[in-house]
Amino acid sequence: MTIHVEYLRSFIVVVLTFRMDSRESNMDGVVDILLVEPNPGDTRLFSENFKDAKLLNTIHSVSNGELALEFVHQRNEYENAPRPDIILLEPQLPGTSGMDVLAELKADHSLADIPVVILTSSDMGEAIVKRHDLEADCYIRKPVAPEEFVEFIQSLEEFWFAIIKNPAEE
Protein backbone atom coordinates (compact mmCIF):
# COMPACT_ATOMS: atom_id res chain seq x y z
CA MET A 1 0.00 0.00 0.00
CA THR A 2 1.30 3.43 -0.89
CA ILE A 3 1.47 5.60 2.19
CA HIS A 4 1.00 9.28 2.66
CA VAL A 5 3.27 11.56 4.65
CA GLU A 6 1.55 10.95 7.99
CA TYR A 7 2.52 7.24 7.84
CA LEU A 8 6.18 7.98 7.21
CA ARG A 9 7.03 8.26 10.89
CA SER A 10 7.65 4.62 11.80
CA PHE A 11 9.79 4.14 8.71
CA ILE A 12 11.93 7.15 9.58
CA VAL A 13 12.44 5.80 13.11
CA VAL A 14 13.71 2.53 11.64
CA VAL A 15 16.05 4.33 9.22
CA LEU A 16 17.52 6.59 11.86
CA THR A 17 17.80 3.80 14.45
CA PHE A 18 19.61 1.66 11.88
CA ARG A 19 21.97 4.54 11.13
CA MET A 20 22.74 5.11 14.80
CA ASP A 21 23.44 1.38 15.29
CA SER A 22 25.54 1.05 12.14
CA ARG A 23 29.25 0.53 12.64
CA GLU A 24 29.91 2.18 9.28
CA SER A 25 28.13 5.37 10.26
CA ASN A 26 30.33 8.35 10.91
CA MET A 27 27.79 9.50 13.50
CA ASP A 28 28.35 13.16 12.74
CA GLY A 29 24.65 13.71 13.32
CA VAL A 30 24.04 14.66 9.71
CA VAL A 31 21.61 12.60 7.65
CA ASP A 32 22.83 12.32 4.05
CA ILE A 33 19.79 12.17 1.79
CA LEU A 34 20.02 11.39 -1.91
CA LEU A 35 17.04 12.80 -3.81
CA VAL A 36 16.65 11.35 -7.31
CA GLU A 37 14.08 13.65 -8.93
CA PRO A 38 13.87 14.82 -12.56
CA ASN A 39 11.47 17.70 -11.88
CA PRO A 40 13.46 20.86 -11.02
CA GLY A 41 10.44 22.39 -9.26
CA ASP A 42 10.03 19.39 -6.95
CA THR A 43 13.78 19.29 -6.33
CA ARG A 44 13.68 22.96 -5.35
CA LEU A 45 10.72 22.41 -2.98
CA PHE A 46 12.40 19.42 -1.32
CA SER A 47 15.72 21.27 -1.01
CA GLU A 48 14.20 24.48 0.36
CA ASN A 49 12.09 22.63 2.90
CA PHE A 50 14.98 20.46 4.04
CA LYS A 51 17.13 23.59 4.35
CA ASP A 52 14.46 25.34 6.45
CA ALA A 53 14.06 22.34 8.76
CA LYS A 54 15.99 22.08 11.99
CA LEU A 55 16.88 18.52 11.04
CA LEU A 56 20.61 18.17 10.48
CA ASN A 57 20.77 16.93 6.94
CA THR A 58 22.56 17.27 3.70
CA ILE A 59 20.39 16.77 0.67
CA HIS A 60 22.17 15.71 -2.47
CA SER A 61 20.05 15.79 -5.60
CA VAL A 62 20.49 14.25 -9.01
CA SER A 63 18.07 14.41 -11.91
CA ASN A 64 18.40 10.99 -13.52
CA GLY A 65 19.23 7.35 -12.93
CA GLU A 66 22.72 7.47 -14.40
CA LEU A 67 23.75 10.22 -11.99
CA ALA A 68 22.12 8.38 -9.07
CA LEU A 69 24.25 5.32 -9.80
CA GLU A 70 27.38 7.43 -10.20
CA PHE A 71 26.62 9.03 -6.81
CA VAL A 72 26.13 5.77 -4.89
CA HIS A 73 29.14 4.14 -6.58
CA GLN A 74 31.20 7.32 -6.00
CA ARG A 75 32.25 7.62 -9.64
CA ASN A 76 33.27 10.61 -11.76
CA GLU A 77 32.19 13.92 -10.22
CA TYR A 78 30.81 12.04 -7.19
CA GLU A 79 34.03 10.25 -6.21
CA ASN A 80 34.00 12.05 -2.83
CA ALA A 81 30.25 11.78 -2.29
CA PRO A 82 29.10 10.39 1.06
CA ARG A 83 27.19 7.13 1.27
CA PRO A 84 23.53 8.15 1.49
CA ASP A 85 21.64 7.26 4.66
CA ILE A 86 18.40 7.22 2.71
CA ILE A 87 17.44 7.51 -0.96
CA LEU A 88 14.26 9.25 -2.10
CA LEU A 89 13.68 7.85 -5.60
CA GLU A 90 11.24 8.92 -8.30
CA PRO A 91 10.57 5.84 -10.47
CA GLN A 92 9.86 7.81 -13.67
CA LEU A 93 13.33 9.01 -14.67
CA PRO A 94 14.83 9.91 -18.03
CA GLY A 95 17.40 7.39 -19.30
CA THR A 96 18.11 4.80 -16.65
CA SER A 97 14.76 4.35 -14.92
CA GLY A 98 14.11 4.40 -11.21
CA MET A 99 13.34 0.68 -11.50
CA ASP A 100 16.81 0.06 -12.93
CA VAL A 101 18.38 2.12 -10.15
CA LEU A 102 16.41 0.20 -7.50
CA ALA A 103 17.35 -3.14 -9.08
CA GLU A 104 21.05 -2.24 -9.06
CA LEU A 105 20.92 -1.00 -5.47
CA LYS A 106 19.23 -4.18 -4.25
CA ALA A 107 21.60 -6.43 -6.24
CA ASP A 108 24.77 -4.81 -4.86
CA HIS A 109 25.45 -6.16 -1.36
CA SER A 110 27.39 -3.04 -0.40
CA LEU A 111 24.37 -0.83 -1.23
CA ALA A 112 21.38 -3.09 -0.54
CA ASP A 113 21.03 -1.90 3.06
CA ILE A 114 20.46 1.74 2.10
CA PRO A 115 16.75 2.41 2.66
CA VAL A 116 14.98 3.42 -0.54
CA VAL A 117 11.75 5.40 -0.45
CA ILE A 118 9.85 5.42 -3.73
CA LEU A 119 8.22 8.81 -4.30
CA THR A 120 5.12 8.29 -6.40
CA SER A 121 2.76 10.73 -8.04
CA SER A 122 -0.15 8.34 -7.66
CA ASP A 123 -1.35 5.44 -5.55
CA MET A 124 -0.11 3.11 -8.32
CA GLY A 125 3.59 3.56 -7.50
CA GLU A 126 3.92 0.42 -5.41
CA ALA A 127 2.15 -1.68 -8.04
CA ILE A 128 4.43 -0.33 -10.76
CA VAL A 129 7.55 -1.21 -8.76
CA LYS A 130 6.28 -4.69 -7.89
CA ARG A 131 5.48 -5.37 -11.57
CA HIS A 132 9.23 -5.27 -12.08
CA ASP A 133 9.70 -7.90 -9.31
CA LEU A 134 11.35 -5.29 -7.10
CA GLU A 135 10.66 -4.16 -3.57
CA ALA A 136 11.48 -0.79 -2.06
CA ASP A 137 11.58 -0.13 1.67
CA CYS A 138 8.72 2.34 1.56
CA TYR A 139 6.33 3.95 -0.92
CA ILE A 140 5.22 7.50 -0.33
CA ARG A 141 2.88 9.59 -2.36
CA LYS A 142 4.94 12.59 -3.41
CA PRO A 143 3.87 15.83 -1.75
CA VAL A 144 2.12 18.05 -4.28
CA ALA A 145 1.20 21.26 -2.49
CA PRO A 146 3.83 23.35 -0.69
CA GLU A 147 2.19 22.65 2.67
CA GLU A 148 2.54 18.90 2.02
CA PHE A 149 6.28 19.37 1.46
CA VAL A 150 6.45 21.19 4.81
CA GLU A 151 4.52 18.35 6.49
CA PHE A 152 6.87 15.78 4.92
CA ILE A 153 9.96 17.57 6.24
CA GLN A 154 8.39 18.14 9.67
CA SER A 155 7.73 14.39 9.96
CA LEU A 156 11.42 13.74 9.34
CA GLU A 157 12.40 16.50 11.75
CA GLU A 158 10.17 15.31 14.61
CA PHE A 159 11.48 11.79 14.50
CA TRP A 160 15.09 12.79 14.07
CA PHE A 161 14.82 14.75 17.32
CA ALA A 162 13.07 11.79 18.97
CA ILE A 163 15.94 9.50 18.00
CA ILE A 164 18.58 12.01 19.15
CA LYS A 165 16.86 12.38 22.53
CA ASN A 166 16.24 8.63 22.95
CA PRO A 167 18.97 6.77 21.05
CA ALA A 168 18.59 3.03 20.60
CA GLU A 169 19.90 0.97 23.48
CA GLU A 170 23.09 -0.87 22.59
Question: Which pairing describes strands 116-120 and 138-141: parallel, antiparallel, or unpaired?
Answer: parallel
**CATH code: domain of residue 14:** 3.40.50.2300
54 domain-assigned? yes
75 domain-assigned? yes
Using alpha carbons, select from 170, 142, 157 the residue that is nearest to residue 20. Answer: 170
- Say which residue, 169 or 63, is predicted with more confidence: 63
Number of domains in the chain: 1
86 domain-assigned? yes
> The whole model's pTM is what?
0.75
The dihedral through the CA atoms of 103, 105, 108, 112 has a sign that is: negative
Given a cut of 50, whether residue 164 has pLDDT beyond it is no
Q: How far apart are CA 82 and CA 73, in angstroms?
A: 10
What 3-state DSSP class applies to 87?
A: strand
170 domain-assigned? no
32 domain-assigned? yes
Q: For 88-139, write each residue's pLDDT tens digit.
A: 999 889 999 999 999 999 999 999 988 888 887 766 666 666 666 667 777 7
Q: How far apart are CA 33 and CA 87, in angstroms?
A: 6
38 domain-assigned? yes
What's the DSSP call for residue 169? P
Residue 120 structural domain:
5-165
